[in-house]
Amino acid sequence: MSTISIGQAVILGVVEGLTEFLPVSSTGHLKIAEGLMDIPVDDKSVVGFTAVIQVGAIAAVLLYFFRDIVRFVAAWGRGLTSAEARQSHDSKFAWWVIAATVPIVVVGLAAKPLIDGPLASLWVVAASLIGGSIVMWLAERYATFRRGEADITFKDSMLVGSSQILALLFPGFSRSGATLSTGLFLGLDRVAATRLSFFLSIPALTGAGLYELKDATDADVAPLIVGTVVSFVVAYASIAWLLRYVAKHTFNLFIGYRIVVAVVLFGLLVSGKISA
């Protein structure tokens, strides 16, 4: 069992909050931060700790998009008893989010030994940062931005939701980066792709946090609470900033940043200054 101090919990909470929804890979950054602080990335209690503090980031999404979520849930509820209500876009969208979460749940459960084992290596993180950057660059290069949020379909939701598997299997690829890139490939504009990514993150990350809760029970309660609260506060600010940013800018800033981080990480691994 690995013990995480209050100070380390604050750092990990900040890293989680800043990077969960930016297309730079929160898992990758958390593993890098843990490696630099000599925290074993494959320890079950550490895996549980990092999964649970994600709930703080999810709470930030729930609060930020509270009105939208209430609208979707209400439409979904009305659709349970009314055929006419089931035809509304909000009702359909709620069902699409549920359906789009199934692929990542299935793969997550089936591939858990690999995800928590060989794929948790920082070598994988570094390579995935580069691979994800290439995908993001291609998405920007060939994006048409011809469709908005009202144009999202079941197919869009399933493809974007399934793309989360890339980040699940390859820490460093970025769940946000994968979903945003897929949205752009499908012709969505940046704001529509970003909002869809946020809504799809809610069931996926909440489920992961709850599933890993059993392992987090080995961690001290105080650091767990601190990390989760810090994650919530920082994530809320990050969400607000990202939505404003993508309305007027490309994702090139994030692509360049990811490449720099990957190069630095490769250097640290090769020099032995950080353990994989």
Looking at residue 15, its amino acid is: V
- What token pair was written down for 269? 């691994």
**Displacement of CA 176 from its chain's centroid (Å):** 5
Asked whether residue 30 carries a pLDDT value surpassing 80, the answer given is yes
- Tens digits of per-residue pLDDT, 248-272? 899 999 999 999 999 999 998 999 8
- Sorted by where each begins, the domain ranges of the chain are 6-271
For 147, phi then psi, to 5°, come to -125, 145
CA distance 93 to 153: 8
CB–CB of 60/21 below 8 Å? no
Summarised one tens digit per residue, pLDDT across range 117-152 is 888 888 999 999 999 999 999 999 999 999 999 999
Q: Computed from CA positions of residues 266, 268, 269, 275, in that sequence, does the dihedral angle turn out positive or negative?
A: negative
For residues 224-233, average pLDDT: 94
Is the pLDDT at 107 greater than 80? The verdict is yes
